[in-house]
Amino acid sequence: MPRFSTIRSIFSLDTLDSRLTANTPRSSSPPKNPTALSLAGTARNGESSRSQKLRKESSPSKWGTPEFWLYIIGVGIAVILMFKTTYDLSKESHPNYPKYEPLLSPGWIPGRKVDNSDEQYAGFRNNIPILGGVLIGHSLLRRGFNVLFSRLFPTPPHNSSYRASHNINRRKYFDIFFAVIFLTALHSLSIIKILVILTANWLISFFHPSSIFVPILTWGFNIGVLFANEYFKGYHFRLILPWLIAGEGAGVGYAMDHFLGGGLLPRWEISFNITVLRLISYNMDHYWAAKRLEEADDVVVGRDEGSVLEVRSLVGRRGEDVERAEDGEMGAEEDSSDDEEAQDARLILEQKKKLLDPANISERDRIDTPASVEDYGFFNYLAYILYSPLYLAGPIITFNDFVHQQRYPQPTTSPTLVTKYALRLLSSILTMEFVLHYLYVVAISKTGHTYDSWSNDTPFQLSMIGYFNLHIIWLKLLIPWRFFRLWALVDHVDPPENMLRCMSNNYSALAFWRAWHRSFNRWIVRYIYIPLGGASRPIVNMVVVFTFVALWHDLSFKLLAWGWLVVLFVIPELVCRKVFPKRRFEGRERTYRYLSGLGAVGNVLMMMGANLVGFAIGVEGVRDLIRGVLGSWEGFGFVVLACTALFMAAQIMFEVREGEKRVGIDLRC
């Protein structure tokens, strides 16, 4: 059935992000250099030893057993009831409909209005045609610029050592040129303020990049920028210029503030938070690269014109810590059993692999291997910080990885894979349209506290308002992230995928954050969690991490409460993992699976509560929701049934992950 096979491939992990399947036989991404693979400890067929181990240790499939047929039927009935109940709340005949109807807009599905009341997603949804035009225009301009640049500066042959330098020069000049036009259209003359902040940050690491003051000043400066942007509301010219220009400063400033109508997004400081992450990434990568060069015990294996290739025990071990934390989770125990001889041997093999084929090194190597000294220049910095496809929302890519991809375009950006990814994005947009046209939970929740639009609703109905609100939050973040990643893929840059799992396919609080805004999680691990000590102080580090995450999202009590709730709700999972380790249940795997299912139920309830506080209805809204659900015996009975359904769903989630292990994949989320 070729048609069914094509549909399956569109929704495969390989289409979502080829990093997830790169070391498995199932990967459809172009093969890497086989010699390089064997040096890295990978089998000749492209499968890593870790993938082989996962397949060997996986359990037999349980899908055909009576137990799992019961789970599938039970969860299927629950899902049908969930949709029907929420749809009934969204009918014109419902008594509460007039209370939230003013927030609805005309829809394109006959007979249905659309709940376009979420301002954040409405801003994206209403501008999809414009964004699509910008994507196409950017691609066409890139092609035209490449032709012109190649005529002025002929492209070296593929085997030339100058080919990579030609690539990065050609790309960075266009990236800066387009970014100036793009940011002027978005923010008008506020681009001047952005360039001032960018220049100040670049100067921190310019004069003495290996100084310990670089990370201190970098973090202090960028956190200060976050607070200052919020406090001064973007630094209006009419307030700044009177201090700089005598007489007509306020008038000139007012004219500058309203030039081109202030741009499509006058409040540039709202989207600048994502830029702050790139500012920190550049300075920290520059600092670590400079420290490498100063290390007395460095052993330089080789140097190509694209990157410094060296073996260094200190930074090498740090890279392993990052990999363990990213592949594992915050709070996981670190394995320190490898002796230094084995580590050094592995590092030497990795460096040989890079020398053999620098274009096909792994993402881990692209991130950990510093760029050459000249790559930390101002033009590369601007091209990275202001890279248009990822400027507004990411995904986040480190400076080292970005520069390497500028030199060596990745095979994962082939037209076939990009087309499949685009079709997957289209399916997500259509899913969101279906939800917004048939389930008006955003409008209900917005009017619930003020107009009592959920009065007389049953506990089941109240819980569905909260549940589908979370699903819409998931979709409204997933769709823009995938659109901007698609734009980057079309432009031959491959950033990491931000959303790996459906929101409802998560049972672990720790794993949830690795699948939700994944590139941000990896950024946090690299630049905060590991430098603070990693798993040696899990609770303290998580408090710091989630406090930063909350303040980075928005300087509000609601999100600060969310950050602390997340840490509080993670603690029971950490404790249970210590008290009930999997190795103690060898031979009693079913008992362990049932205990894990009970823990998963608690995790899901706590995660829903925390995210409703942070991203939907706030502390008061959640309090009213809980009071409505638990305020009667009917509510208590519903909670028991809901927990039963969650337990069955958790068992299905466990088996989904076991199925991935059977083909050598472990997403660890």
Number of Cβ atoms within 10 Å of the Cβ of 312: 20
CA distance 138 to 248: 39
Is the distance from CB of 126 to CB of 505 less than 8 angstroms? no
Question: Residue 409: CB partners within 8 Å, gap ≥ 6?
Answer: 167, 492
Which candidate in 286, 404, 471, 553 is catalytic? 553
* Closest C-alpha to 317, from 146, 609, 530, 79: 530
* CA neighbor of 21 nearest in space, from 63, 50, 59: 50
Burial of 227 (C-beta count, 10 Å sphere; 0-12/13-18/19+): exposed
From 221, 228, 223, select the one nearest 269 (Cα to Cα).
228
**Residue 19 and residue 14: Cα distance in Å, rounded?**
8
Q: Which run of H or of E encompasses 291?
A: helix 268-294
Cα–Cα distance between 105 and 112 in angstroms, integer?
9
Beta carbons within 8 Å of 314's beta carbon, 6+ residues apart? 295, 297
- What's the first-to-final CA gap in the chain, in angstroms? 31
Cα gap 628→94, rounded to integer Å: 18
Instruction: Decide if 553 is catalytic.
Output: yes
Contact between 447 and 103 (Cβ < 8 Å): yes
What's the CA gap between 97 and 468, in Å, rounded? 17
Which ranges constitute the DSSP H helices of 554-584?
557-579
Cα–Cα distance, 128 to 175 (Å, whole number): 22
3-state secondary structure of 48: strand
- Nearest-angstrom CA–CA distance, 495 and 17: 9
Inter-residue contact 226 to 552 (CB < 8 Å): yes
The Cα–Cα gap between 645 and 516 comes to 23
Q: Which of 447, 432, 431, 427 is nearest to 89 (CA)?
A: 447
Active-site annotation, residues: 553
